[in-house]
Amino acid sequence: MYADDVILLAPSVHGLQSLLDICDLELSFLDMSVNAKKSACIRFGRNHSRVCDNMVVAGNVVNWVTSARYLGVHLESSVVFKTSFAANKAACYRAFNGIFGKISSNTSEEVLFELIKTKCLPVIYYGTEACPTNSSSKHSFQFTINRVLFEIFGVLSKDSISDICYYFGLLSADEAICVRQDRFRNRYSASENCICCVLSKY
């Protein structure tokens, strides 16, 4: 947690306002303040679309939003906790086009795929370690990877895509996400932080 990346979680609107008041009071002792214009409130749960009272900090209104970006992860107001990976896919395409547009005809396929694995895939899978990913999201990730292969090789059959992924060591989207989630859980299960130890059991 950094001073400009604080997140407050509350079970109710009233509880959230109470937290804001406490933070505002504590920050005033440190000669600091919350920038309401750079802050936002987002709601999850059955009543996520219901109009809520304005949240106020230091006399300034903090707006309610339907989507927000936190530490590079895009959150969307919904019945359940929900994230959007559309920005990840767009960033992956930009990274690939930047690489492929400059070296496509001047380098080997092995080098190209190594660049894809180190510069493009971490971008598209960012946040999947801790954020919920359903089958639709995984299918969308795989479609993005297949589009990258299409740009390199042209039209490919499903078997050809599998062979190329095997040869160049590209995991499927489902496999890649599972590996990242396992690594994430293992890192936190080994942490000395007692909260992390409890959470790792779930």
Q: What is the pLDDT of residue 180?
A: 93
Distance from the first to the final alpha carbon of the chain: 23
Give the whole-number percent of the chain exceeding pLDDT 70.
92
CB 55 within 8 A of CB 42: no
Three-state secondary-structure class, residue 11? coil
pLDDT above 70 (res 165) = yes
Whole-number Å distance between alpha carbons of 85 and 97: 19
Q: What is the pLDDT of residue 191?
A: 73
